[in-house]
Chain A
Amino acid sequence: MAAGGAGAAGLLALPAAAAAATSSAAQPPISETDRLQRLIRLEGLLLYCYRHVLASGILAPRARRTLAPFPGHEEAHIAALERVLRARGGTVPPGPDSVATANRYLANRGVGGRLGQLKGHSDALYLLLTLEQVTIGAYFVALTKLRDSELIQLACQIMANEAQHDAMIGLTLPKATPGSAVPYGLVQGLQ
């Protein structure tokens, strides 16, 4: 279903899980500490974008009310991941400290739309929606490699929460319904 659409749009790349399998000979394996740092960086970017969009006043009141708790959720995800990372002796990466840095990170991750240049409500929602899907994709890829049971469970809990955010953002789009907000039977995010 989804593969056809992606192929038609010329976007279909090798799924990350498959890519990881095929490229393992060429690249050294990524440690769990590295994976945690990657996830924290992404969560930090998501948090920054939520805060920026919510503070910008660009969202319609209903969407603003819906999204208002989400930065708190992202903070909790970061705190939980940081605890695990520190317990393993890892260094916590900083989040973006400016719009320019956040926009550079968005560009690096292939996410269109830039903070400070959003044209309106829908632009802001689609940026957040895409970034949520990129985040879900990062957890999906991480789950193919993580080995620690507690970390796997934590990654699942956060991935599922990001998927709920994704659905709720979808529900704030014009004429959306609870059914249309959950359009796929399997969610792996964008990779």
Chain B
Amino acid sequence: MVLSWLIVWLSSMAATNERRPDLLQMAAAQGIREISSDSNRVFLYAFTRHGQFYKTLVLTAGTMFQTGIIKPGGARCVSLWAAMPFNLGDGAGLTIVLTNETRRSETVQLYLDPAHVRAQRAWVPIRFEIPPDMDHFVLKFDVNAGPRGDYTGDWIGLAAGGETGCLLAE
């Protein structure tokens, strides 16, 4: 009896884990590490914005990160927080593409410029729907310099979002 319950519990845990992929874990699985002096241009970095502290996956301008295949299960949305850690430069752009063998959907295009826009000196929520016909996909994150080509402080940090029930949420 106890063994049966244990198996059920472990299965449910496994199923839960399958439904809730973690962006930072996926990055770590690809060999992306904490920021260090010899860091690559994609790294893990925790920072505070507007009093809220999050661990993030940081992409610098001109870099891209692609997840492995995600099966959304019952979740129909993706939730993330995004912010730039510094108030420098002319901002940076983030593009998120949702793609699989048959479809490619550019779901998010976000331009952050905390140096000039006070509201963007905080975490910006990102939420997008997963098309109903996509039962699996990969997420591709692209970060680009601002429109004037200035690369100063062009770091965009992505953290687990705040919307419960969505993929990649806390």
Genuine A/B complex: no
